[in-house]
Amino acid sequence: MGHSPTSWRIIHLLVFLIIVLDHALIISADTDPQDTSALNGIAASWDNAKSKLSEWVGNDPCGEKWPGVYCTQNRVTSIRLSSFGLSGSLSGDIQSLSELQYLDLSYNNLSGPLPPNIGSLSNLESLSVVGCQFSGDIPKELSQLPKLRFLSLNNNRFTGSIPPSIGNLSNMYWLDLGENRLTGSLPVSDGTNTGLDNLTNALHLLLDNNNFTGGIPPTLTLLTKLEVLHLENNKLTGPLPDLTGMDSLYVVNLENLHITGELPQPLFKLPAIQTLGLKGNNFNGTLTIGSDYSSTLSLIDLQDNQITTLAVSGAQYNKKLILVGNPICVQGNNEALYCKSSQQANPAAKPYSTQSICPGLPPTCLSDQYLSPNCTCAVPYMGTLHFRSPPFFDLSNDTFFVLLEENMKEAFLGKQLPVESIALDNPAFGPSNNLDINLRVFPSGKIRFGKEDISYIGFMLNNQTYKPHAPGINYGPYYFIGQSYPFAETLSAPRQTKKNQSLIIGVSAGGAFVVVSLLVLFTVLFFRRNKRPKLQPQPRSPSYASWDIKSTSISTPHLQGARVFTFDELKKITNSFSDANDIGTGGYGKVYRGVLPNGHLIAVKRSEQGSLQGNLEFRTEIELLSRVHHKNLVSLVGFCFDQGEQMLVYEYVPNGTLKDSLTGKSGVRLDWKRRLRVVLGAAKGIAYLHELADPPIVHRDIKSSNILLDGNLHTKVSDFGLSKPLNQDGRGQVTTQVKGTMGYLDPEYYMTQQLTEKSDVYSFGVLLLEVITARKPLERGRYIVREVKGAMDRTKDLYGLHELLDPMLAPTSLAGFELYVDLALKCVEEAGMDRPSMSEVVAEIEKIMKMAGVNPKVDSASNSMSYNSRTPRHPYSGESQFDYSGGIPSSSRVEPK
């Protein structure tokens, strides 16, 4: 008897399943084999890899989470192995990691040349090998890395000259080649070759402690974004070029060179300048600071030059000026303050040191352990922080160091790192006014850090991911020299290998069982199928596969422009919700960075167990979010309601929060005009929620950490998890539970317990004040609204608020400032009825922008009603959609998965 077509299909399916399962048993690893081979080749060039990286065994670095290796899907994208105690060289196998974006090998005993084929890593964005012993020439092939933004080769033994082609790295914002043995002149473009003056996006240029010769190129002034310039301890000669136009420059260190001539007076007028290190040169003649020097200038160090006279009195410049070792201090002026080498407030006081607070007798720690500030014994991660140009000089002033400890701990905890406490001691100024501080970072809940912890802490300190900042203090640039960390003993490689072999055997046996079971099952079904009556096809359920309809009668949500993700999809996209993908924590839960198969970045908000909503509430929220589309609102890409999980998927916004920019944490510097653009975008987004969303929405938690900045510094209002639709009568929503954040809350809300759009207006007014002061709304009992109202004097310039202003704002360029403050105070009126609407706020900010010479139509919508701006066609789907800036295509229809 012949087989029917259906029978043949079943047989073909069986054969296909057997082939697939057999293939799966052979290739069980998740990691791309090319990456695995490359990592093994790199490890083979390290003399002590077997002891220091004993977990690097098997054939699946991504799935088995090798320490220091981070993956996106099945490709290695980051290697962070700072302070792992590795020795040897860097193998050319590195070139095979074609998806590598971050490489940090700092503070290891690695030597030899940097392999030239590192220039084939076309996706590399950050390269850091600080504090190793690499030698030879800097490979010119580095100029072939189009995405390289961060290059730190300092504290090595590199020789030769700087390759001129390094000027091709147009995306570079950080270049540190300090403390090497480099020679030659500083390369600049000459019509044929590129040079350092082509790095127009550079913020930090650090070339100190080498043997460079020649002059300081005048064309360095083309680097108008530059903030920090370090050329000290070289053999550079000639005059100092005019630095006019470098309006972002706040640190200049040209100490111990051979520069001659008189100091140009415009140097002291640079609007952002804070520190001028000029000692050990041949500046001569009269020092003319002038009366219109920059208000941010706090240190002029001109020790050991040839200054003969001072054109202004010390009273006219009342910050720190050092002229020790100049003729002016030998000619009868020894008693002048600027002729004293020590100008500390209390030079005899003991330098700061973190104290351990113990309720009784402190415990006795083992020889390799230290007593933490919280009186526990543990093995800390240790090293030295070198602040290149600190803004303070009193080493006994606890405030500077306590705030630094608090800020650093907060940064580590913000990345979910197990840090219990920070200890600082023995601060001392070096010969170049560098401040060196011993650092100890103590683990929380355990004796030692794990390798992943040290990998991440080292990465934050080496790649300047952590930027120390405190209210009123800009600690300035620094670098960190870490010590090798004594990790706990781990299982040897052979035992690990045996474990993996057992795993493979187990998987193989299990796979064989599955194959046999499937054969039996399909055989039974094949012989029974003719005995079963044919069924009419059933209509497909309209619900999503991930929507749990068994336990509720709640219907499937109706989404507009968003899609459904399964738990497994999001797990893969976020690298199993790894710590490396963790980008923050909010009220809803943790937020993870993910990459869709098409390469688009997303942010996944994963609800914590205690934050899970009911089915109806979650359905209502995602329906509401899917209907809200505006260029100044973070866009919802989709959601997940699967395997007991509730997750929201948003577009990824790369430049962090407005709060991070104001505090200096993100490294994004906002001048007055940029700040106006940011608040205009935020106002338009909120106005859209109030007046054009259907139904209208009250945000309820407007604050600087909920204002995000995308890659072009366009504003995105985020965190709609707390948003609520207004009642139909427009009176708002009555609630007995306080929503929002202290310092931003509407005082009228406390009395009426009623949320209205005017509650958001009040919060926005507080935000406006935060933007110009860079201070927390509520800090140590001081309320920003009360502080501004108490200090302002409308008869004075800038309303007399100079002392409250963010020092990063140049007072000479704050056109429209008074109208801005007036608007902020209107928004924080006690009675809601006296506050403007958000559309009125938008119109007023646009007016202020025009006064400041900023076109409100540029990088934003076209007019004051443009918070309703839409585009007729979506650039990806071709459907009529919205002005969507997230760069992630969304389907016009949402189908059940």
Indicate whether 676 and 612 sit together in one domain: no
> How many domains does the structure of the chain reveal?
4
Identify which of 773, 796, 794 has the alpha carbon closest to the alpha carbon of residue 785. Answer: 773
Indicate whether 105 and 222 sit together in one domain: yes
What pLDDT shows up at residue 452? Answer: 84
What pLDDT shows up at residue 720? Answer: 58
Taking 90 as the threshold, does the pLDDT of residue 541 lie above it?
no
CA 381-386-391 angle, to 5 degrees, is 125
Give 518-525 contacts, CB < 8 A, sequence gap 24+.
Answer: 518/14, 518/17, 519/14, 522/10, 522/13, 522/14, 525/10
Taking 80 as the threshold, does the pLDDT of residue 497 lie above it?
no
Q: What are phi and psi of 783, to 5 degrees?
A: -100, 125
Lowest mean pLDDT among 18-22, 602-606, 797-801: 18-22
Q: Is residue 248 a part of any domain in this protein?
A: yes
CA distance 574 to 601: 10
Indicate whether 670 and 706 sit together in one domain: yes
How far, in whole angstroms, is CA 673 from its chain's centroid? 22
pLDDT band at residue 654, thresholds of 50, 70 and 90? confident
Q: Is 516 exposed, middle or buried (0-12, 13-18, 19+ CB in 10 A)?
A: exposed
Indicate whether 718 and 682 sit together in one domain: yes
What pLDDT shows up at residue 368? Answer: 85
pLDDT in tens, 131-150: 999 999 999 999 999 999 99
Indicate whether 229 and 103 sit together in one domain: yes
Please list the residues that pair with 601 across neighbouring strands: 595
Q: Is residue 434 a part of any domain in this protein?
A: yes
Output the six-digit token pair for 831: 């009675």
Q: Is residue 505 a part of any domain in this protein?
A: no
What pLDDT shows up at residue 550? Answer: 39
Catalytic residue among 197, 304, 660, 701: 701
CA distance 461 to 18: 51
Angle at which helices 817-827 and 784-791 pack, to 10 degrees? 130
CA distance 576 to 581: 9
| pLDDT over 70 percentage in the chain | 75
Lowest mean pLDDT among 380-394, 462-476, 524-538, 845-859: 524-538
pLDDT in tens, 335-367: 778 887 655 545 545 678 888 877 777 788 888
Q: Which residues of 768-797 are buried (b: 16+ CB within 10 A; e: fewer)?
A: bbbbbbbbbbbeeeebbbebbeeebeeeee
pLDDT band at residue 290, thresholds of 50, 70 and 90? confident
Contact (Cβ atoms closer than 8 angstroms) between residue 385 and residue 440 = no
The length of the chain, given as a count of residues: 897
pLDDT in tens, 213-232: 999 999 999 999 999 999 99
Tell the residue number behind the tokens 């100091």, with chain if given. 263
CA distance 138 to 149: 17
CA distance 570 to 576: 8
Indicate whether 800 and 746 sit together in one domain: yes
Taking 70 as the threshold, does the pLDDT of residue 759 lie above it?
yes
Q: What is the mean pLDDT of residues 493-517?
A: 42
pLDDT band at residue 614, thresholds of 50, 70 and 90? low
Taking 90 as the threshold, does the pLDDT of residue 525 lie above it?
no
What pLDDT shows up at residue 258? Answer: 94
Contact (Cβ atoms closer than 8 angstroms) between residue 835 and residue 761 = yes
Taking 80 as the threshold, does the pLDDT of residue 634 lie above it?
yes
| pLDDT over 90 percentage in the chain | 43
> In which element (H, E) is residue 41 found?
helix 33-44
Indicate whether 469 and 561 sit together in one domain: no
Residue 353 is classified by DSSP as B
pLDDT band at residue 394, thresholds of 50, 70 and 90? low
Write down which residue in 437, 453, 482 finishes a domain: 482
Residue 156 is classified by DSSP as S
CA distance 887 to 600: 7
What pLDDT shows up at residue 709? Answer: 92
What pLDDT shows up at residue 559? Answer: 60
Write down which residue in 482, 517, 540 finishes a domain: 482
Q: Is residue 336 a part of any domain in this protein?
A: no
Contact (Cβ atoms closer than 8 angstroms) between residue 630 and residue 685 = yes
CA distance 328 to 288: 13
What pLDDT shows up at residue 853? Answer: 87
Q: Is residue 751 a part of any domain in this protein?
A: yes
Q: Is residue 421 a part of any domain in this protein?
A: yes
What pLDDT shows up at residue 582? Answer: 86
Indicate whether 141 and 54 sit together in one domain: yes
Indicate whether 731 and 828 sit together in one domain: yes
Contact (Cβ atoms closer than 8 angstroms) between residue 442 and residue 420 = yes
Indicate whether 472 and 599 sit together in one domain: no
Mean pLDDT value across the chain: 79
What pLDDT shows up at residue 861? Answer: 34
Taking 80 as the threshold, does the pLDDT of residue 586 lie above it?
no
Please list the residues that pair with 75 across neighbouring strands: 72
- 59 three-class SS: coil
pLDDT in tens, 438-461: 999 999 988 999 888 898 898 888
Tell the residue number behind the tokens 């002291």, with chain if given. 268
Output the six-digit token pair for 481: 């020299």
The more confidently predicted of residues 469 and 12 is 469
Identify which of 342, 308, 309, 304 has the alpha carbon closest to the alpha carbon of residue 324. Answer: 304
pLDDT band at residue 436, thresholds of 50, 70 and 90? confident
CA distance 31 to 64: 9
- 429 three-class SS: strand
Please list the residues that pair with 778 across neighbouring strands: 783
Residue 880 is classified by DSSP as S
Indicate whether 563 and 468 sit together in one domain: no
Output the six-digit token pair for 296: 């941010």
Q: Is residue 166 a part of any domain in this protein?
A: yes
Verify whether residue 701 is a known catalytic residue: yes
Contact (Cβ atoms closer than 8 angstroms) between residue 763 and residue 743 = no
Q: What is the mean pLDDT of residues 630-640?
A: 89
Contact (Cβ atoms closer than 8 angstroms) between residue 554 and residue 613 = no
Phi-psi region of 7 (alpha: psi -120 to 50; beta: other; left: phi over 0): alpha
- 787 three-class SS: helix
How far, in whole angstroms, is CA 866 from its chain's centroid? 30
pLDDT band at residue 22, thresholds of 50, 70 and 90? very low
The more confidently predicted of residues 235 and 884 is 235
Indicate whether 438 and 569 sit together in one domain: no
590 assigned to a ligand binding site = no
Range of the domain at 478: 370-482
Contact (Cβ atoms closer than 8 angstroms) between residue 336 and residue 329 = yes
pLDDT band at residue 804, thresholds of 50, 70 and 90? very high
CA atoms within 13 A on the CB side of 497: 6
Domain of residue 685, CATH code: 1.10.510.10
Identify which of 768, 773, 745 has the alpha carbon closest to the alpha carbon of residue 830. Answer: 745
pLDDT in tens, 200-210: 999 999 999 99
Position 648: which residue type? Answer: L
- 540 three-class SS: coil
Contact (Cβ atoms closer than 8 angstroms) between residue 437 and residue 354 = no
Q: Is residue 833 a part of any domain in this protein?
A: yes
In sign, the C-alpha dihedral spanning 215, 176, 478, 228 is: positive
In sign, the C-alpha dihedral spanning 621, 624, 627, 629 is: negative
pLDDT band at residue 391, thresholds of 50, 70 and 90? low
Output the six-digit token pair for 95: 């070139």
Taking 90 as the threshold, does the pLDDT of residue 845 lie above it?
yes
CA 535-539-540 angle, to 5 degrees, is 120
Position 811: which residue type? Answer: P
Please list the residues that pair with 545 across neighbouring strands: none
pLDDT band at residue 781, thresholds of 50, 70 and 90? confident
Domain of residue 151, CATH code: 3.80.10.10
Range from 432-441, 588-597, 685-694 that averages highest in pLDDT: 685-694
Contact (Cβ atoms closer than 8 angstroms) between residue 177 and residue 150 = no
Contact (Cβ atoms closer than 8 angstroms) between residue 248 and residue 669 = yes
Domain of residue 416, CATH code: 3.30.70
Q: What is the mean pLDDT of residues 733-745?
A: 63
